Amino acid sequence: MRLAGQKALVTGSEGGIGRAIVARLRQDGAEVLGTDMSEASDLPGDLTDPSFCDALPGLAEERLGGLDILVNNAGVIPRGRITETSDADYRLAMTVNVEAPFRLCRAAIPIMEAAGGGAIVNTSSCWGVHPGPDHPLYIMSKAAVASLTQCLGRDHARQGIRVNAVCPNEVNTPMIRTGFEIRGLDPDKGIESLNDSVPLGRIAEPEDIADVVAFLVSDDARYMCGALLEVNGGKPVG
């Protein structure tokens, strides 16, 4: 129960990794509010709405009686080379993947500072640190998240706020499975072929990422600020 008494807000809480993060933080004793587009989440809403993002940390603080942990997990993946992408793809990638975490961090930091500290985990990607092929919008948005994390990790350590990022490689979630479906391939077969490309023998399950997020927000990571933690089963970006 290393997070007993901690109050947490998790975005993208109805997605593959988001559900696992909420479950893991609760298992560790935290009180967690999840937010997602789906009405099934605790605080439903659309992260492309700036006023929703600005208000979310305050809403969570009000509902939970504090806010010690923020996990910016929600994300979208526009696919294709630059010539295959639209203005709408650009706006979506930058709004959901970059602007929303920017707004949420900006609103959460003063709340955490007033309480004497806190922990934020942003979700970048191995691809945000080492660019892979054919996804320039996704990769630049995840590189921006990595950079934001390094900046905030440094700027807010003196306030007792630790900001770090988790950088997964491929994870078995709807995000990756839809990539196979779009190409007319069977997602299970696609995952099997990806498994062969990973030195540990399989791509990540959502719980592999959630466990690292739980570590980063816990006191076990008390000396970590601005880190970009790659969780990749030994697979480099090819």
Binding residue for ligand NAD (CB under 6 A) from 6, 7, 8, 15?
15
- What is the size of the binding site for ligand NAD (CB under 6 A)? 26
CA–CA separation, 213 and 233 (whole Å)? 16
Q: Which of 7, 1, 234, 233 shows the shortest CA–CA distance to 118? A: 7
Instruction: Give me the residue label for tokens 């880190």.
Output: 227
Q: Rule CB under 6 A: is residue 125 a binding residue for ligand NAD? A: yes
List 69's β-bridge partners, or say none: 8, 119
Q: Taking the alpha carbons of 230, 206, 142, 191 in that order, is the dihedral positive or negative?
A: positive
Catalytic residue among 19, 64, 95, 138: 138
Q: Which x/- pattern over 141-180 shows residues binding ligand NAD (rule: CB under 6 A)?
A: ---------------------------x-xx-xxxx----
Q: Which x/- pattern over 61-100 shows residues binding ligand NAD (rule: CB under 6 A)?
A: ------------xxxxx------------------x----
Spell out the SS3 assignment of 200-230. Answer: CCCCECHHHHHHHHHHHHCHHHCCCCCCEEE
Binding residue for ligand NAD (CB under 6 A) from 6, 18, 78, 215?
18
Q: Among all residues, whose Cβ is closest to ligand NAD?
A: 15
Give CA angle at 107 (5, 38), nearest 5°: 75
90 is catalytic: no
Residues of the shown chain interacting with ligand NAD in the complex, contacts defined by CB under 6 A: 12, 14-18, 36-37, 46-48, 73-77, 96, 123, 125, 168, 170-171, 173-176
Question: Known catalytic residues?
Answer: 138
